Amino acid sequence: MLFSMRQSRIKAVKGEDALYHAIDRIVGGDFLMGPVEKEVFLKIMWRVARFLGLKIYDYCVMDTHAHKLIFCPGKVELTDEQFLERLREYKGERHPEVRTFANSMKSGGTKHEELRTKYRRRLGNISEFEKSHKQMFTTWYNRRHKRRGTLWMERFSSVLVENVKAAREAVAVYLDLNPVRAEIVSDPKDYRFCAYAAALGGDQRCREGLMAVMEKQEWEKAAAAYRLELMQVGQIRRQGKRGCISQDLFLQTRNDKGVLPAATLFRLRIRYFTEGLVLGTEAFVQKAFDRHRSHF
């Protein structure tokens, strides 16, 4: 059962674990998210989620909007040292907030407790995640495209999802079938900007998310079961949507018990080798970026 109420956002009781389906819509429904924008959107998403202690179970970034299935723990327990390390990853070693928190750890007292309380309120918070993610992406996008003003139609909309397999699976399948329904691809594995395709390509974060969705301890079993569900649901044409999973693909998947051929998996894993511009360590890529900035 789905309960909808436009005038306020439904959130879990404070201190309890929660699962949300969050939707971000571009203002005016404009097609502003190209491949580069989607890559940066995802990079920022993972960065903010890591800092706040959230887990991204699934996502799908389209040209006009983005979906995310987000697990928010009721409590994020970190020592001061662990939080400082996470703050360094998030803000950078030289950021004033990093120095302020590090100094407060040394001096202790009321100032340090105030800072700890301030940050503790942000950890695991869906609203803080959406606010930070969208603000950081907007700043990058406006600077890159020399524009001003809001990028998003609204703050964000979200659905509180019961954290059981049937509900998680239903939302995840809906997310990953978006590019099929829009007739962008005929198989969600071929849409680079969804968690399912990223998981098949080897992204461990996405694999862990879909394993949690399917309640499976082994990736191969989770992948096969999830693919069968994708094909089963995807073959049913939805009212108002153009695309669906073909009958041939559904039957082939069922015959193969959801297991993709090794050659297909290999192709998905090397996809980034051919679709990118630079491949290597972070330092190598950054050096290439600085040297050839006009190409990016």
* Cβ-Cβ contacts under 8 Å for 5 (sequence gap 6 or more): none
Residue 220 has pLDDT above 70, yes or no: yes
Phi, psi of 22 (to 5 degrees): -105, 140
pLDDT interval class at 5 (50, 70, 90): very low
Residue 4 has pLDDT above 50, yes or no: no
Q: What value does the mean pLDDT take over residues 110-115?
A: 90
CB-side exposure of 157: number of CA atoms within 13 Å? Answer: 12
pLDDT interval class at 295 (50, 70, 90): low
pLDDT digit string (tens) for 130-182?
Answer: 999 999 999 999 999 999 988 998 766 788 999 999 999 999 999 999 999 99
Residue 208 has pLDDT above 80, yes or no: yes
SS (HEC) of the chain: CCCCCCCCCCCCCCCCCEEEEEEEEEHHHCCCCCHHHHHHHHHHHHHHHHHHCCEEEEEEECCCEEEEEEEECCCCCCCHHHHHHHHHHHHCCCCHHHHHHHHHHHHCHHHHHHHHHHHHHHCCCHHHHHHHHHHHHHHHHHHHHCCCCCCECCCCEEEEECCCHHHHHHHHHHHHCHHHHCCCCCCHHHCCCEHHHHHHCCCHHHHHHHHHHHCCCCHHHHHHHHHHHHHHHHCCCCCCCCCCCCHHHHHHHHHCCCCCCHHHHHHHHCHHHHHCCCCCCHHHHHHHHHHCHHHC
Q: What whole-number distance in Å separates Cα of residue 94 and Cα of residue 96? A: 6
Q: What whole-number distance in Å separates Cα of residue 112 and Cα of residue 199? A: 40
Distances (CA, A) of 97 to 37, 77, 285: 28, 20, 27
pLDDT interval class at 276 (50, 70, 90): low
pLDDT interval class at 296 (50, 70, 90): low
Q: What value does the mean pLDDT take over residues 18-42?
A: 94
Whether the predicted model's global pTM rises above the 0.95 cut = no
Higher pLDDT, 156 or 128: 128
Average pLDDT along the chain: 90
Q: What value does the mean pLDDT take over residues 244-272?
A: 90
Q: What whole-number distance in Å separates Cα of residue 195 and Cα of residue 166? A: 18
Q: What whole-number distance in Å separates Cα of residue 222 and Cα of residue 238? A: 25
Of all residues in the chain, what percent carry a pLDDT higher than 90?
A: 71
The least confident of 10-19, 104-113, 189-198 is 10-19
* Cβ-Cβ contacts under 8 Å for 214 (sequence gap 6 or more): 165, 169, 221, 222, 225, 226
- Helix pair angle (204-214, 165-176), 10° resolution: 130
The least confident of 108-117, 168-177, 187-196 is 108-117
Task: Give the pLDDT confidence score for residue 43 in this predicted structure.
Answer: 95
Task: Give the pLDDT confidence score for residue 2 in this predicted structure.
Answer: 54
Q: What whole-number distance in Å separates Cα of residue 135 and Cα of residue 114? A: 25
Q: What whole-number distance in Å separates Cα of residue 199 and Cα of residue 212? A: 13
* Cβ-Cβ contacts under 8 Å for 180 (sequence gap 6 or more): 186, 187, 188, 191, 234, 243, 244, 245
State how far Cα 227 lies from the chain centre.
Answer: 19
